[in-house]
Amino acid sequence: MPSDAPAPEPGSPRTRMPGLFLNRESRIRNGWWVAIFLALLAALLFPVVLISASLGREVSIWEQLGLICVVTVAVQLLRRRPVTEVTGPLDLRAATGLAVGLGLGFMLMAVPAAALWGAGAVQFEIRPFDPAVLLPAVALTVGVAAAEELLFRGVLFQRLVAGVGVWPAQIAIGLLFLLTHMGNPGMEGSVVFLAGLNIFLASLMFGQAFLRTGSLAMPIGLHFAANLTQGVVFGFGVSGHEKPGLLAPRFLTDAEWLTGGAFGLEASLPGLAMVAITLAILLRAGRSRRDQALAT
């Protein structure tokens, strides 16, 4: 039976064929938004790096976070979408996700540390409490978690999920996350395999935390608490970077595959096991309705 609805006009969004730049809804393809994000970030970061180098200093984590925030806002303005589409709503659910992330992040590193101590592989000495040393370390940990999660689980990840699906996006961002850590101190020799696998799975874990909640609050809390517990509490290295801690670990074995050595618990077998367990828990928990819609 013929329809009474009028035929769409030629060239209208309903009949326009998808092309290189636009999809069937006449919107810019998600891949181009990824390219725009990276291009804007590079355009802002390049002069900042040059200026910092001329002054004999490094670009601080807070400057990096500021640049990522500016580019995120710019992309969302261009897309005519709110920033909360990227961050998730700042509501009670976000506060709950943050709290859950903090708890998971603490367990992620406390359990391997306790296991190594119980197995006699490491002993801990109490260091003098020095707020002048510890508070900047805590602040740095906050900045790293916020900057890395906004960069790797923000516009890049979310546009990839919308464009190519969840697991291709997870794998692509996981490899990028790993690549940015490959130049860290101690990322060599026997450490490379366990540390690399751990970092890649950790990226999947952070991504799943976002997909589970539709908010960056849980992955930021998880990332922050893991680094804080590993470095500032137990005194292990954090991705190869030495951190001042409340405790000082003393290794009783040379088996870096067991302890992670100077790189930190991220390069240890117990650390890898906890990341895998936490990822499995988050995968079983499923995904939020917002992010189920994102991938469709």
pLDDT the model gives residue 42: 97
Can you read off the two tokens belonging to residue 45? 């970061």
Report the share of the chain in percent with pLDDT over 90.
Answer: 82
CA nearest 141: which of 225, 262, 210, 31?
A: 225
Q: Where are the alpha helices (DSSP H) in the chain?
A: 30-54, 61-79, 84-87, 92-118, 131-152, 155-164, 166-181, 191-213, 217-227, 256-259, 269-285, 289-294
**pLDDT band, residue 288 (cuts 50/70/90):** low
pLDDT the model gives residue 122: 97
Q: Are 251 and 122 within 8 A, CB to CB?
A: yes
**pLDDT band, residue 149 (cuts 50/70/90):** very high
Work out the mean pLDDT of the chain and round it to a whole number: 91
Distance CA 66, CA 278 (A): 30
14-57 pLDDT per residue, tens: 545 678 888 777 788 999 999 999 999 999 999 999 999 999 99
Does the pLDDT value for residue 4 go beyond 90? no
Which whole number is the average pLDDT over 109-129? 96
225-252 pLDDT per residue, tens: 999 999 999 999 999 998 889 999 999 9
Torsion angles phi and psi, residue 18, rounded to 5:
-65, 145
Q: What is the pTM of this model?
A: 0.90
Strands 247-251 vs 122-126: parallel, antiparallel or unpaired: antiparallel
61-82 pLDDT per residue, tens: 999 999 999 999 999 999 999 9
Q: Return the minimum-mean-pLDDT range out of 21-30, 77-86, 90-99, 257-266.
A: 21-30
> Where are the domains positioned within the chain?
90-294
Which whole number is the average pLDDT over 174-202? 93
Distance CA 235, CA 252 (A): 15
Which whole number is the average pLDDT over 168-173? 98
Calculate ∠ Cα 52-56-62, nearest 5°.
45
Q: What is the DSSP letter of 247?
A: E
Does the pLDDT value for residue 260 go beyond 60? yes
Does the pLDDT value for residue 6 go beyond 50? no
CA nearest 198: which of 256, 154, 140?
A: 256
Does the pLDDT value for residue 13 go beyond 50? no
Q: Are 29 and 22 within 8 A, CB to CB?
A: yes
